[in-house]
Amino acid sequence: MEQGSVDVIDGKKIQEKYLREEMMPTIFCDGCGIGNVLDYTLWALEREGIDMDNTVFLSGIGCSSRLPGYVDVDALHTTHGRALAFATGVKLTNPELHVVVFTGDGDGIGIGGNHFIHACRRNLDVTVVCVNNFIYGMTGGQVAPTTPETKKATTAPYGNIEPPFDMSKMAIASGASYVARWPVNRPSMPINSIREGLRNRGFSFIEMLSPCPTAYGRRNKFRQIDQMWEWYAEHTMLIEDYEMIQRYGSEEEKAGLQDMITMGVLHREEKPSLSERIRRLTAEVMEK
């Protein structure tokens, strides 16, 4: 099999190359998509030729925040919602490092919402891979900022009455220079997006829609994983198709867009990162 194929890289399986064998098996529930997210991230790192000795992974608290512990790399498992605060310190201390942050919708946008919007605003040069499973999965199944209206959680036993955040739109509005969103059942496109995020000079946000059969599914009539996949198929659409219907579709087709979640690269912009602005200011000050 040729080098770079899905099963073998340089004679080694990708798991053997990147993962800590002593940490196996993972804690993730059957049907969870977080393992897919890790797999896609490792493939992106491999295909970009990223030096893992020059890479730091960070995370906060939650199911997805357990991911750095499985990777044979320098990592920080920080407090709830604070991964981006730590990532800011890491990147500014050593701007040459590749900084990758794993977070979730509760950790990154709920508990860590303030850090999130300011990291976007500053265009901090990090790659954030955010698992959105619509709920606080590990910490009790509470309603999250992304939980759809009417859906149930431990803190919303009769259904959520609050409108949810769209994390990707928030990232764009706050100043992130690269934003994409994908479901976990489409491997090649998330891998390519994470690769683009790693290359981007600035804040890269890749939102991954991931099923949570345990905390979210069993409370919302998605006990079987295929039911969740059917929901994704019915409620997601590529951004190009969405915009085409908005522009040229019939009124009936446009009405069908109301509950659709757009997938794809949602925003791409070239602008200086925080590290670049600091270097520029430092040079100007030193010249005086």
Phi, psi of 227 (to 5 degrees): -70, -35
Cβ atoms of 153 and 142 closer than 8 Å: yes
Q: What is the pLDDT of residue 52?
A: 95
Q: Whole-angstrom Cα distance, residue 267 to residue 148?
A: 23
How many Cβ atoms sit within 10 Å of the Cβ of residue 269?
13
Q: What is the pLDDT of residue 5?
A: 41
Helix-helix angle 113-122:167-174, to 10 degrees: 40
CATH code for residues 29-287: 3.40.50.970
Q: What is the pLDDT of residue 228?
A: 87
Residue 40, both tokens = 């896609």
pTM, full prediction? 0.92
Cis-peptide, bond into residue 25, ω within 30° of zero: yes
Q: What is the pLDDT of residue 9?
A: 53
Q: Whole-angstrom Cα distance, residue 73 to residue 100?
A: 11
- Taking only the tens of pLDDT, the chain with its 288 residues reads 333 344 445 536 788 889 998 998 888 998 899 999 999 999 999 999 999 999 999 999 999 999 999 999 999 999 999 999 999 999 999 999 999 999 999 999 999 999 999 999 999 999 999 999 999 998 899 999 999 999 999 999 999 999 999 999 999 999 999 999 999 988 899 999 999 999 999 999 999 999 999 999 999 988 788 888 888 888 999 999 999 999 999 999 999 898 899 999 999 999 999 999 999 999 989 887
Among 108, 122, 84, CA closest to 273: 122
Phi, psi of 20 (to 5 degrees): -85, 110
Cβ atoms of 176 and 268 closer than 8 Å: no
State the DSSP string of 30-56: TT-SHHHHHHHHHHHHHHHT--GGGEE
Q: What is the pLDDT of residue 186?
A: 82
Q: Reading across the β-sheet that carries 98-104, which strands appear in turn?
A: 74-77, 55-59, 98-104, 127-132, 204-209, 178-183, 261-268, 236-238
Pairing, β 98-104 against β 55-59: parallel
Q: Whole-angstrom Cα distance, residue 63 to residue 214?
A: 12
Total residues found in the chain within this entry = 288
